[in-house]
A and B are shown apart, each in its own frame.
Chain A
Amino acid sequence: MIAIRQWTERVLGRGNAAITVPVLDGALKSNRLIEDAEVVAEFDAPEDLASDGHSLLLADGARVLRVDGAGAHEVERSFDRTISALACLPGGGIAVALGGNEVRVVGGPHDGRRYDAAGGRRLNAVNALVCTSSGRLLATDGSQTQPPERWKHDLMELGRTGRLVEFDLSDGSTRERAAELAYAFGAAPIGDDVVWVCESWRHRVVQIGGKFSGRAVVDALPGYPSRIAPAQGGGWWLTCFTLRTQLVEFVLREPAFRKRMLKEIDPRFWIAPALTSGNTYLEPMQGAHLKTMGVVKPWAPPRSYGLVIRLDEQGLIRYSLHSRFDGKHHGVVAAAELDDWLYLLCKGPRRLLRLSVAHARASLAAA
């Protein structure tokens, strides 16, 4: 019966086979605020941002840098492996994920704590760390099958092995809060027991814990959500590292094509979301990736894109910041708000950007 339904849907282009994507309208209407943001500095391999409320920390390769608004930076810590996630701890110190499979606490009252497993399973692709008000550390473990840098493989394999795990730094215990997530990437602690988690491949933010556990807080996003950062005055900054496109949605419904693509094509040239694009002519061309009179159409569906969404406390979208297809500031994976400046980490061009939140709001109100 299921097979007949699937076949019918494929023929008629309905249900799961309706290759559609949500539109960027309303509060998601595009603008150039990320593209026009000030470039603070460029780095070799930036991965994550964190703020302790006074200064900004940035994970760059195997180093943690302390960065000021002018772009000057100093090395805070160095590690032996690449950092895949970074968080500041309320009592002092930092937590880092190394290579995706180890979480380490450095400095502060819990200095030296190390975790390589949680809930009885080994960590594999820890990509975001965040601390709750009660001092527990939450981590999103994106995939049980692919390491963080092979996220595209996980998407193309329709990975559903993401987890939300919790570390109690005081007693060293661990707990698996949620499993079988479609690439868990970013979490926001809402209360003592409630956490919002981004499920990138399902394009939603889902609530874990509390009365409505499992309910989507933000659903049908037009992009792939990643890390969430608290916003001053309440609410959250939700980063989306790129947009969904009909072409990629189509590929995700074609197992034979995906299988061959994974086997035969260099991942850089897959028909898949990317953090940056337009670097080589070998990249796949999309339907609207066209030049008209020598100008790339700025409204064309992108392969890479820059998008940050401002959510309120209830998860409603208030406004959004964009770097459109014709821009460069794509692949925003982390945000941090400090002193009315919003710092954004664009993994595509490997840049740290900043923009005034008040200015952004004023410009959107005037637009």
Chain B
Amino acid sequence: MSSSQPILALRKATKKYAGVPAIQDVDFELLAGEVHAIVGENGAGKSTLTKVMAGVVNLTSGEMLIEGRAVNARTPTEARELGIAMVFQETSLIPTMTVAQNLYLGQEKFFNRLRGIYIAAQQFMQSLQFDVDPTAVVSKLGAAQKQMVEIARAVLHNAKVIIFDEPTASLTPEEKKYFFDLIASLKRRGVSVIFISHALEEALQVSDRITVLRDGRHVVTDQTRNFDRARIVQAMVGRDLSQTLYGQRKTSVRSQGRRVLSVQNLRMAAVVKNNSLSVFAGQVTGVFGLVGSGRTETFKVVAGVAKRDFMHGGEVLLNGKPVRYFVPAAAVRDGIAYVTEERKLEGFFETKSIADNVYMGLLAKLRNRLSLVSKTDAAAVGERWIKRLNIRAIGTDVKAIELSGGNQQKVVIAKSLVQEPELIIFDEPTRGVDVGAISEIHQLINRLADEGKAVVVISSYLPEVMSLSDRILVQRMGKVVEEFSALDATEEKIMYAAIH
């Protein structure tokens, strides 16, 4: 049973990254002993909000209060001292250490008696009714047991607030059930729980109150009993499109050309499960899904960036011919370009010039490894693509790191397009890109489809998917579950398919 006293509150909380607000003027209250679910689309600001509470990032403006007292948690350690612990999607346990060693990590004395630590850990775990062997090495534990250790560590540090970021994403159904029991037991102990989830059923089932965020702003907070799925979805996506870049609704779609790509029963570990889809020439195929739905992984397999299951991994057919790439260069030679979502990590060489980056894209296409690299050619190619994509730079020798996010993305795109691909996969093409560049990138994508190329756009932003795509594939739990014509699609329908 929760009390009406907020144990944690945020007032006008704003966090900006490079001037772009991830959350803005968010007011949030967590009551003592309540389970509070935070839901929203990808990029709605859920993670940023909770990271602020956990001291992982600091507010640009606004304040945080604990039991009515203004506090400033600048680091996770400071937040933990204030009684706030966060359990991340990827656990922060050290896999080579035992459960007990992980529990007491950071509390070691000058002399430690391992047996004493094990006994203390055993007693503590039993008090929480967690069935985990304290002498077990963490790497040998299942996902649910790892989470139990994380929770135990939080409780051991006297956490009054425990924040879970997508806690059930990696759990099996049985483990999920066990996890919900754990939440209930934490609640009984008076611990407040914040719970981020894309699975609305879980939010509706477990929480006392739900907060919906959209585009970094607070939309609504209410008792869970006052919500149903439809109301949550409406609150999650109900933005006024006329006020945005994506205000124009599609009135016509391109007709499909020949089938360029056919993915049949593709499997990749637990992420892509028996996935089948087609991509056609002369169309933009939008792919939407929540984080963890296997969209990126599916197309990384297509582009040779990732590998499908070694046995019974399904088939990928390019123009009707089965292909299996072990390295992306082979896919590039066959006419597949993958524009990565991680442009800084995988997209370009940041200390190289624009011309060098673009030219390296061209070299990847060349079959002859002995081709000579010509600086003159590189400069000419760079010049051509700077003009073609309107990259704003003072010259071809400007280093990629010195460009804005939008122009960096254009370099990544140029590096792919210089290969003259037949199939172009854009993964989050406008993430972290300014509005002007978004418009130009969208025009480019449309132009490619008009030229008869097969274009795939993977995006977490629904308005983008809807404004660009001729057909929209929705992925959930590792496979395509629904297909919409862009004329038929609405944000509610797509979101419903993505989470239902």
- A interface residues (Cβ-Cβ under 8 A, vs B): 11-15, 18-23, 25-27, 29, 216, 219-220, 246, 316-318, 365-367
Contact = CB atoms under 8 A, between A and B. Distances in A.
16 contacts: A12-B311, A18-B265, A18-B312, A21-B264, A22-B264, A23-B262, A23-B480, A26-B256, A26-B280, A26-B483, A219-B320, A220-B262, A246-B265, A316-B257, A317-B256, A318-B255
A25 B320 contact: no
Nearest to B473: A25
A22 B262 contact: yes
B311 A25 contact: no
A18 B278 CA distance: 17
A15 B488 contact: no
A314 B474 CA distance: 30
A14 B322 CA distance: 10
Contact of A25 (B277, B322, B487): B277
Given A23-B277, A216-B320, A18 B314 contact: yes
Interface in B298-317: 310-315, 317
Contacts of B263: 23
Contacts of B280: 26
Contacts of A21: 264-265
Interface in B453-488: 471, 473, 480, 483, 485, 487-488
Given A25-B277, A25-B278, A316-B256, 5 more contacts: A13-B313, A23-B263, A23-B276, A25-B473, A365-B487
Interface residue range, chain B: 20 to 34
B259 interface: yes
Interface in B249-289: 255-259, 262-265, 276-278, 280
Top 5 nearest A-B pairs by Cβ distance? A13-B312, A20-B264, A23-B276, A20-B265, A20-B315
A220 B264 CA distance: 11
Nearest to B312: A13
Contacts of B255: 318
A216 B314 CA distance: 23
Nearest to A30: B483
B258 A18 contact: no
Contact of B278 (A11, A22, A316): A22
User: Most chain-B CB neighbours within 10 Å: which of A11, A26, A246?
Assistant: A26
A25 B261 CA distance: 12
A25 B214 CA distance: 32
B483 A25 contact: yes
Contacts of A26: 256, 259, 278, 280, 471, 483
A31 to B, nearest CB: 12
B336 to A, nearest CB: 18
Contacts of A366: 488
A352 to B, nearest CB: 31
A11 B256 contact: no
A22 B259 CA distance: 11
Given A29-B483, A316-B258, A12 B264 contact: no
B320 A27 contact: no
Nearest to B281: A316
B444 to A, nearest CB: 23
- Looking at B278, B324, B487, the one whose CB has the most chain A CB atoms below 10 A away is B278
A290 to B, nearest CB: 16
Most buried by B among A13, A216, A220: A13
Contacts of B471: 26
Contacts of B473: 25
Interface of B: 255-259, 262-265, 276-278, 280, 310-315, 317, 320, 322, 324, 471, 473, 480, 483, 485, 487-488
Contact of B314 (A15, A20, A317, A367): A20
Nearest to A219: B320
A29 B277 CA distance: 11
Contacts of A12: 310-312
Nearest to B253: A365
Given A20-B264, A21-B264, A367-B485, A11 B311 contact: yes
Nearest to B276: A23
A222 B488 CA distance: 24
A23 B473 CA distance: 13
Contact of B259 (A19, A220, A318): A220
Contacts of B259: 26, 220
Q: Which of B259, B485, B487 has the most CB of A within 10 A?
A: B259
Contacts of B315: 18, 20
A26 B473 CA distance: 10
Contacts of A22: 262, 264, 276, 278
Most buried by B among A12, A14, A19, A318: A14
B374 to A, nearest CB: 40
Contacts of A216: 320
Nearest to A220: B320
Contacts of A219: 320
A85 B312 CA distance: 42
A23 B278 contact: yes
A143 B276 CA distance: 33
A23 B264 contact: yes
B443 to A, nearest CB: 24
Nearest to A23: B276
Contacts of A19: 265
A11 B256 CA distance: 37
A12 B315 CA distance: 12
A143 B255 CA distance: 37
B149 to A, nearest CB: 37
Contacts of A23: 262-264, 276-278, 480
Contacts of B265: 18-21, 246
Nearest to A317: B256
Contacts of A316: 256-258
Contacts of A11: 311
A220 B314 CA distance: 15
Contacts of A246: 265
B127 to A, nearest CB: 42
A317 B256 CA distance: 8
A295 to B, nearest CB: 16
Nearest to B279: A26
Contacts of A318: 255
A316 B282 CA distance: 12
A203 to B, nearest CB: 11
B481 to A, nearest CB: 10
B264 A13 contact: no
Contacts of A18: 264-265, 312, 314-315, 322
Contacts of B322: 15, 18
Contacts of B276: 20, 22-23, 25
A23 B483 CA distance: 12
Nearest to A318: B255
Nearest to B263: A23
Nearest to A28: B278
A26 B256 CA distance: 8
B269 to A, nearest CB: 15
A316 B259 CA distance: 9
A220 B485 CA distance: 23
Contact of B317 (A25, A29, A220, A365): A220
